[in-house]
Structure 1
Amino acid sequence: MDLSHLGAPIGPRTRIHGGAANRMYRLDTDQGSFAVKELNVVDRRWPYRARDVFRLEQAAFAAGIPMPEPIAADDSTLVHRWVEGEKVPEEPVSVPYAFEIGELLARLHALDVDWADEPPEEPTPRDWPELAERAAATGQPWAGELASQVETFLAIAQLVDTCERPGPIVLTHKDVQPFNLLACDGRPVLLDWELSGMLDLSGELGSTALRLAQGTGFDSIQPDVFRAVLDGYVAGGGALPPPGPSWFVYMIAGWLGHTRWNIHRCLAGVEVSTGPDLALSQESVRDGLRGLPDMFGRLPQLEALLA
Structure 2
Amino acid sequence: MDLAHLGAPVGPMIRVHGGFGNRMYRLDTDQGSFAVKELNLSDRRWAYRAEDVFRFERAAFAAGIPMPEPISAGQHTLVHRWVEGEKMPEAPVSPAYGFEIGEILARIHALDVAWPHVSIGDPAPRDWPDLAGRATATGQPWAGELSSQVQTFLAIADFVDTCERPGPVVLTHRDIQPWNLLAREGRPVVLDWELSGLLDLSGELGSTALSLAKGPGFDDIRPAIFGSVLDGYVAGGGALPPWGPSWFVFLIGGWLGFTRWNILRCLAGVEASTGPDLALSHQSVRNGVRGLPELFGRLPELVALLR
Give the TM-score category using the shorter length: over 0.9
**Structure 2 spans left out of the alignment, 5+ residues:** none
Query: What is the aligned partner in structure 2 of residue 176 from structure 1?
Result: 176
Question: Aligned partners of 1:137, 1:197: CA distance in 2, in Å?
Answer: 38
Question: Aligned partners of 2:29, 2:89: CA distance in 1, in Å?
Answer: 29
Query: What is the aligned partner in structure 2 of residue 47 from structure 1?
Result: 47
Query: Any idea what the Cα deviations from partners look like across 1:100-125, whole Å, max 9, x if unmatched?
Result: 00000000000000101235212111
Query: Any idea what the Cα deviations from partners look like across 1:173-214, whole Å, max 9, x if unmatched?
Result: 000010000000000000000000000000000000000000
AA at the equivalent of 2:153: F
Please say if residues 8 and 30 of structure 1, whose CA atoms lie closer than 8 Å, have aligned partners that are also in contact. yes
1:124 correspondence with 2:124: yes
Q: Aligned pair count?
A: 307
Distance 1:119 1:204, change over 3 A: closer
Query: Any idea what the Cα deviations from partners look like across 1:272-300, whole Å, max 9, x if unmatched?
Result: 10000000000000000000000000001
Please say if residues 226 and 305 of structure 1, whose CA atoms lie closer than 8 Å, have aligned partners that are also in contact. no
Question: Aligned partners of 2:291, 2:261: CA distance in 1, in Å?
Answer: 16
Question: Aligned partners of 1:75, 1:116: CA distance in 2, in Å?
Answer: 18
Query: Any idea what the Cα deviations from partners look like across 1:66-119, whole Å, max 9, x if unmatched?
Result: 000000001211000000000001100000000000000000000000101235
Question: Aligned partners of 1:13, 1:150: CA distance in 2, in Å?
Answer: 43
Query: What is the aligned partner in structure 2 of residue 235 from structure 1?
Result: 235
Question: Aligned partners of 2:34, 2:246: CA distance in 1, in Å?
Answer: 38
Equivalent residue runs for 1:53-92 within 5 Å: 53-92=53-92
Aligned residue for 1:145, secondary structure, equals: helix
Query: Any idea what the Cα deviations from partners look like across 1:17-39, whole Å, max 9, x if unmatched?
Result: 00000000000000000000000
Identity of aligned residues (%): 76
Please say if residues 243 and 306 of structure 1, whose CA atoms lie closer than 8 Å, have aligned partners that are also in contact. no
**Structure 1 spans left out of the alignment, 5+ residues:** none
Question: Aligned partners of 1:274, 1:2: CA distance in 2, in Å?
Answer: 17
Task: Note the C-alpha offset of 1:50.
Answer: 1.1
Query: What is the aligned partner in structure 2 of residue 263 from structure 1?
Result: 263
Question: Aligned partners of 1:117, 1:11: CA distance in 2, in Å?
Answer: 40
Query: What is the aligned partner in structure 2 of residue 113 from structure 1?
Result: 113
Task: Note the C-alpha offset of 1:306.
Answer: 3.9
Question: Aligned partners of 1:175, 1:54: CA distance in 2, in Å?
Answer: 16
Query: Any idea what the Cα deviations from partners look like across 1:154-174, whole Å, max 9, x if unmatched?
Result: 000000000000000000000
Task: Note the C-alpha offset of 1:305.
Answer: 3.7
Query: What is the aligned partner in structure 1 of residue 165 from structure 2?
Result: 165
Of 241-250 and 119-128, the range deviating more from structure 2? 119-128
Aligned residue for 1:80, secondary structure, equals: strand
Query: What is the aligned partner in structure 1 of residue 219 from structure 2?
Result: 219
For normalisation by structure 1, the TM-score amounts to 0.99
1:272 correspondence with 2:261: no
1:286 correspondence with 2:283: no
Give the 4+ runs in structure 1 shifted more than 2 A. none
Distance 1:27 1:206, change over 3 A: same
Please say if residues 223 and 306 of structure 2, whose CA atoms lie closer than 8 Å, have aligned partners that are also in contact. no
Please say if residues 119 and 198 of structure 2, whose CA atoms lie closer than 8 Å, have aligned partners that are also in contact. no
Question: Aligned partners of 1:306, 1:137: CA distance in 2, in Å?
Answer: 42
AA at the equivalent of 2:283: E
1:9 correspondence with 2:9: yes
